[in-house]
Structure 1
Amino acid sequence: MLHRLQHLELAVRAAVARRREGDPQPDDPFRGLYLSDEVVDAALAAAREPFDPWPPDPARHPDRPDDRLTELARAAGLNPLDEALLLVALAPDVDSRFEQFYGYLNDDVTRRRPSIGLALRLCGLPEAAAPARRRLGTGAPLIDLALLRTDATDRPVLTRGLWVPDRVGGWLLGADAPEPLLVGLAEPVEPVGPAPPGAVPLARALDRAGSRLAYLREKPGGSAPALATAALDGAGRRALAVDLPRLAADPQPAELATVLIREALLTGAGLVVGPVHGGEPWAVWSRLTDGPVPVLAYGTRPWDPTWTARAPLQVDVEPLTAPQRAAVWRAVLPGPLADGLDPATATEQFVLGAPAIHRAASVAGQLAAAAGEPVGVAHLRAGARTQNAAGLERLARRIVPEVDWDDLVLPPPTLSLLRELAGRARHRDRVLREWRMRPGGGRGHGVTALFAGDSGTGKTMSAEVVAGALGLDLYTVNLATVVDKYVGETEKNLERIFGEAAGVNGVLLFDEADAIFGKRSEVRDAHDRYANIESAYLLQRMETFDGLAVLATNLRANLDEAFTRRLDVVVDFPVPDEAARRALWDRCLGERVPRGPDVDLEFLAGAFELAGGHIRSAAVTAGYLAAAADRPVGMAELIGAVGREYRKLGRLTLESEFGRYLDLAD
């Protein structure tokens, strides 16, 4: 490009010489600051003619390699006049002598940038040439792409100054420092792991079909940014990831969008824009979609045709299949691995996209390195859990499972159903997606279970065990964040919960589910009508849910039968029998609690018909009593704790139950 500036210098020197020949007062020290009679007479006597055009540009010779200006002209659709105007404006940033030249030619030493009129004359064009002037107005690539700026818009057009933004000038001279305005808003990203399915057709559309706008609708477990990045890479472009909400919130989003387009143009990139929420200003979409670079937007909601004048290529981004996730895990997981570890099998219940798998693998490697051991199942699952979005924690309480199958005291049929539930969650990709066992109807790929039984029979603990067996967190929905007295608000709250849960690898527990999943009733007044609307909405939403949900209730009969049909597993939790109660007492007291020699677990199990939750509560109370007395847990503490539990339940302490320990109950 420097050789072109040398030709420009020759043209400027000729213009300066010509200007000096017609200057009536060339030695006036105050010239340019006032107009004398001689200067006015000279201006009236001479016509305003353009300067001599530049000599032929040797850069166009086929034996000469292209420079960055030629590359920019090809990408932005600039014609030779645009290139010449850009060089005229850039010259003072490359050679400071041009400031003096332009000050002299502008007849104003304070104006050291070329004016529009001067730039046109230096290009050999009359100042009034309308086609040439249009190249410096709205609708022309130099201005629309912010490759060239004008100042002092209150001045006449011909005296407005031209200047090249620092980022453009630096890039033309070989500097590749990113645009400072885009720090924190846009950053280059590279493809991760194997190319996602659909990347090749999308790359073909970008490269051959010339598509400039695509919308990738992301389904739970899918990774639209990864698909967009891989497609751009396949089309020979880099990817520039743009935080769309932050762009839309900027005070001047349209100007910033123009800078984004320019940055992508300079770096040969495409824009990966998202997530789309639908409230973005029209001006943002207008700027993004009218540029010469590909824009791949993504989001979870359907595309609205009113957002842009240009119709996008719409692509549904499906979640990775289990074999595809396995390939990504093996490609990105750092070693060494524990003997016999298959990352795909250990994490098959986690629905993650390629970037999330990459981040999870990095976390797993760090955890293993900190522990000084090879990467194992626990590290992989802990890393995968770190990819859960935090939005659900505002609507539900997160519980990190601390119990496992050995902590459950349940009949074999109940345990079998719980293991079946865990198996369904673990293998649902194979059954529902690969084998297509639930096709059509817009049905989700979730797993839903009902835990029914009296209070304290182990429903919540069983949900925690299932979550722990899968390596997932348990999220307990707080009904206070759901139920609202205003019409329609309950449904909105539930939609927020289901929406957030779709992006989380966890178990969603609705405790006391009959409160919101109750039966529909005959409509007698407006309350019944809106209550039925809530239930109908829930029926539809459960049908399309893609996660793992557990409904727990003490009153199974109160649930609508339509919910039961949509359940995958129904688990009944019976009141424990004597043998189970004996095991529960032993389990709740544990191995660390010091026991007195008089502890009689057989008596406790046979005399008191308590559910597991009440037994655990009594055992904890006994522990506090023993700690206060600074002695081991004995029958006095245990019977006293049972007596307190009876009073909480509103039951009488009868001699027929307490026997010889009746006095200790008080």
Structure 2
Amino acid sequence: MTEDDLTGLWARLGAVERRVRKTVADRQSQDPNLTDPYRGLYITDEAVRALLDSPEPLVVPADIPPTAEGRLAESFGLTALDMEFLLIALAPDLDARFERLYGYLNDDVTRRRPTVGLALALCGQTPAGPGRFRFRPDAPLVTGGLVDVLGEDQPFLSREVRVPDRVQAHLLGLDRVDPGIAGFTRVRTRVDGLRPVGAMYSRGEVEVAGTAVVADLSMVSAPSEVVAPLVREARLRGASLVVGPVDGVPPTVLRALLAHDLPLVLHGKSQWDPRWAPVTPLPVDAGTGPAWAEALDGLDVPVAELSAFRLGASQMRAAVSVARRLAARENRAVTAADVRAGVRTQNGAGLAKLARRITPAVTWSDLVLPDRAKTRLAELAARARHRDTVLGDWRMRPGGGRGRGVLALFAGESGTGKTLAAEVVAGDLGMDLYVVDLSSVVDKYVGETEKNLERVFDEAADVNGVLLFDEADALFGKRSAVSDSRDRYANLESAYLLQRMESFDGIAILTTNLRANLDEAFTRRLDVIAAFPMPDAAQRRLLWDTCLGPAIPRADDLDLDVCASRFDLAGGAIRSCAVSAAYLAAAGNRAVTMADLMTAIHEEHHKQGHLTRAEDFRPWLAVTPA
């Protein structure tokens, strides 16, 4: 409230005091037990006779205008009489004298708040007149949460009326969020954004222009209990109310929110179901949310490094808050890595139960691939970063129900670096990699595989990560001619996957050893296809050097050129050999020798069932030809 509002409040309380004074004077002139020290604790015979002789209750004339003015009256739909009742209920919280005066007028020294009957009398209203209905549960004073009518087990006129602490604070000029909802509610003011008109619904969080009370229902265990304080908070401030996500919220809560006439924006992940409430809110487009530049609030962090993340406004601010604290702990400036770490804290935990989470620890320098494959990987990262610009701002959406997701296929033999490349792309985007565990997805019972995959995609929607389907041909194989019921259900499963992948809004990578095994309908819907061929001799030489790394001590006889030229191994096999050789050297407390590498290579060939020639391992290792 403004200073003028406060001045007017005190002036009107003065009028309440004058009414109380007159009512007390009138009562004293008619009170037969004025000097009784135990007055209010019992009723004397004289008092009973006075009550019986009284023709009608005491009514004090009051000059109350027919209508009320001011933002409070407008926001809550109050009449001038409502405003008087509110001030009468507020008086004992502002001036302790009113406690004793109300106790006297209530004929009970323990009842120091006004009752419904006393409020009516002070305003010149008869007990059976229309004024009493201003205290009904559906009256604006009560539904708006401006007053509490206490004692439902008491006669109506004897029920006490009090003003909640939050309303008291507002009337006195302190506008902090009600402590009961402060844990999940924020007040924000923006110049631009959606301008609510009545009730609206958005799929995804939306920014609202002007002042808005924003509540996150995902942090609330009992949503039905917070509707009234949220509506009151918005009305006290003359603000819009933004509430969500409403997915899973009981329809009774939605109906309660929509019953109030105020600018309201609900948001959730799914489409609005008209069965949720008799009033259907106006659908609006959430857009791409606020710019990172606004959430960063002047921090020296390149926005381009964060463009791949899809977060709502509150998630962006929460991520930046975490980033600030990370930097403050080390007494340094906030970096893009801090913000990316903050983004990871906003990921839902559900996907981690269905997929193996990998925090990337590799970079582009760890990849040894042909230039063409690297170009395709760079294109995949670029699509993830700039999809909001291309598909949103430039309106290049493909149509047909296609989502904003980015789908890629990595095809190549086992060990050629497909999973490593997925980890590099995820790390370049600042995301975690989630490898879908096929054992938790594929089910022998009809329809269960689709249900499990739906859970994966639903949980992935709450995660800024890269989804990896390793050995994808097990799920996305070709459809076949129907010869029995098993073929029919297998084809239905593939058709479902086609539709679900197409509507996916995230980043998904499929890997396969045999691209020919994938259904052509899948490959047509892919954005990027990268081939991972077996490395040539020069690439194998680089792989050997990269896998051994700079920290491993190397003996003088180590000849990586020989390893690269003699043995046609994929990157995964080379990595396995390097690790085995390192263990052999560590067990001997020495540097890695050529003999260690040859031993590891021989074991790798044996493990893979490949033939070996004794001359390939000479002179470092004597082996029996196999």
Q: TM-score, normalised by structure 2?
A: 0.88
Say if 2:277 is the partner of 1:308: yes
Letter in structure 2 aligned against 1:39? A
Residue aligning to 2:202 = 216
The answer to whether the Cα contact below 8 Å between 1:50 and 1:127 also exists between their aligned partners in 2 is no
What's the offset of the Cα at 1:303? Answer: 1.1
Distance 1:378 1:38 in 2: 83
Of the structure 1 ranges 446-455 and 357-366, higher mean CA displacement relative to structure 2 is found in 357-366
Distance 1:490 1:582 in 2: 43
Q: In structure 2, do the counterparts of structure 1 residues 177 and 550 end up closer, same or farther at CA, with 3 Å as the change threshold?
A: closer
Distance 2:581 2:624 in 1: 12
Structure 2 matches for 1:253-292, cutoff 5 A?
Answer: 253-282=223-252, 284-292=253-261
The answer to whether the Cα contact below 8 Å between 1:639 and 1:664 also exists between their aligned partners in 2 is no
The answer to whether the Cα contact below 8 Å between 1:215 and 1:297 also exists between their aligned partners in 2 is yes
Letter in structure 1 aligned against 2:239? A
Distance 2:48 2:325 in 1: 78
Structure 2 matches for 1:34-183, cutoff 5 A?
Answer: 34-55=42-63, 70-129=70-129, 131-183=130-182
The answer to whether the Cα contact below 8 Å between 2:292 and 2:316 also exists between their aligned partners in 1 is no
Distance 2:387 2:487 in 1: 37
Distance 2:109 2:101 in 1: 9
Q: In structure 2, do the counterparts of structure 1 residues 136 and 554 end up closer, same or farther at CA, with 3 Å as the change threshold?
A: same
Distance 2:339 2:39 in 1: 77
Q: TM-score, normalised by structure 1?
A: 0.83
What's the offset of the Cα at 1:362? Answer: 6.3
What's the offset of the Cα at 1:649? Answer: 1.5
Pairing partner for 2:380 from 421, 437, 440 = 421
Say if 2:299 is the partner of 1:334: yes
Distance 2:36 2:312 in 1: 73
Unaligned runs of 5+ in 1: 61-65, 338-342
Of the structure 1 ranges 22-31 and 630-639, higher mean CA displacement relative to structure 2 is found in 22-31
Percent identity of paired positions between Structure 1 and Structure 2: 53
Distance 1:404 1:95 in 2: 69
What's the offset of the Cα at 1:214? Answer: 1.6
Pairing partner for 1:528 from 487, 490, 493 = 487
The answer to whether the Cα contact below 8 Å between 2:100 and 2:109 also exists between their aligned partners in 1 is yes
Distance 1:257 1:568 in 2: 44
Distance 1:74 1:438 in 2: 44
What's the offset of the Cα at 1:135? Answer: 1.0
The answer to whether the Cα contact below 8 Å between 1:332 and 1:361 also exists between their aligned partners in 2 is no
Distance 2:566 2:169 in 1: 87
Distance 1:172 1:347 in 2: 43
The answer to whether the Cα contact below 8 Å between 1:448 and 1:567 also exists between their aligned partners in 2 is yes
Residue aligning to 1:317 = 286
Partner-residue secondary structure (3-state), 1:286: helix
What's the offset of the Cα at 1:360? Answer: 5.5
Structure 2 matches for 1:386-405, cutoff 5 A?
Answer: 388-405=347-364
What's the offset of the Cα at 1:511? Answer: 0.8
What's the offset of the Cα at 1:37? Answer: 3.7
Structure 2 matches for 1:233-272, cutoff 5 A?
Answer: 233=210, 238-247=211-220, 249-250=221-222, 253-272=223-242
Distance 1:499 1:168 in 2: 41
Partner-residue secondary structure (3-state), 1:11: helix
Give the aligned CA root-mean-square deviation in angstroms.
3.2
Q: In structure 2, do the counterparts of structure 1 residues 84 and 455 end up closer, same or farther at CA, with 3 Å as the change threshold?
A: same
Say if 2:5 is the partner of 1:6: no
The answer to whether the Cα contact below 8 Å between 2:433 and 2:466 also exists between their aligned partners in 1 is yes
Partner-residue secondary structure (3-state), 2:135: coil
Partner-residue secondary structure (3-state), 1:492: helix
The answer to whether the Cα contact below 8 Å between 1:452 and 1:573 also exists between their aligned partners in 2 is yes
Distance 1:145 1:423 in 2: 51
Partner-residue secondary structure (3-state), 1:216: strand
Distance 1:378 1:116 in 2: 61
Partner-residue secondary structure (3-state), 2:491: helix
The answer to whether the Cα contact below 8 Å between 2:470 and 2:511 also exists between their aligned partners in 1 is yes
The answer to whether the Cα contact below 8 Å between 1:641 and 1:665 also exists between their aligned partners in 2 is no
The answer to whether the Cα contact below 8 Å between 1:398 and 1:473 also exists between their aligned partners in 2 is yes
Pairing partner for 2:27 from 15, 19, 35 = 19
Letter in structure 2 aligned against 1:582? R
Residue aligning to 2:566 = 607
Distance 1:56 1:402 in 2: 74
Partner-residue secondary structure (3-state), 1:135: helix
Distance 1:507 1:276 in 2: 26
Q: In structure 2, do the counterparts of structure 1 residues 184 and 359 end up closer, same or farther at CA, with 3 Å as the change threshold?
A: closer
Of the structure 1 ranges 10-19 and 170-179, higher mean CA displacement relative to structure 2 is found in 170-179
The answer to whether the Cα contact below 8 Å between 2:241 and 2:264 also exists between their aligned partners in 1 is yes
Letter in structure 2 aligned against 1:104? Y
> In the comparison of the two structures, how many residue pairs are matched?
616
Unaligned runs of 5+ in 2: 1-8
Structure 2 matches for 1:223-622, cutoff 5 A?
Answer: 223-224=205-206, 227-228=207-208, 231=209, 233=210, 238-247=211-220, 249-250=221-222, 253-282=223-252, 284-319=253-288, 325=291, 328=294, 332-335=297-300, 343-352=302-311, 388-622=347-581
Distance 2:224 2:333 in 1: 50
What's the offset of the Cα at 1:356? Answer: 5.1
Q: In structure 2, do the counterparts of structure 1 residues 647 and 416 end up closer, same or farther at CA, with 3 Å as the change threshold?
A: same
What's the offset of the Cα at 1:141? Answer: 0.5
Residue aligning to 2:591 = 632
Summarize deviations over 1:76-108 as a string: whole Å, max 9, x none.
111121122222222222333333333333333
Distance 2:335 2:102 in 1: 70
Letter in structure 2 aligned against 1:23? D
What's the offset of the Cα at 1:315? Answer: 0.6
What's the offset of the Cα at 1:513? Answer: 0.9
Q: In structure 2, do the counterparts of structure 1 residues 304 and 510 end up closer, same or farther at CA, with 3 Å as the change threshold?
A: same
The answer to whether the Cα contact below 8 Å between 1:640 and 1:665 also exists between their aligned partners in 2 is no
What's the offset of the Cα at 1:420? Answer: 3.6
Distance 1:526 1:162 in 2: 71
Q: In structure 2, do the counterparts of structure 1 residues 362 and 149 end up closer, same or farther at CA, with 3 Å as the change threshold?
A: closer
Distance 2:58 2:610 in 1: 107
Distance 2:309 2:224 in 1: 39
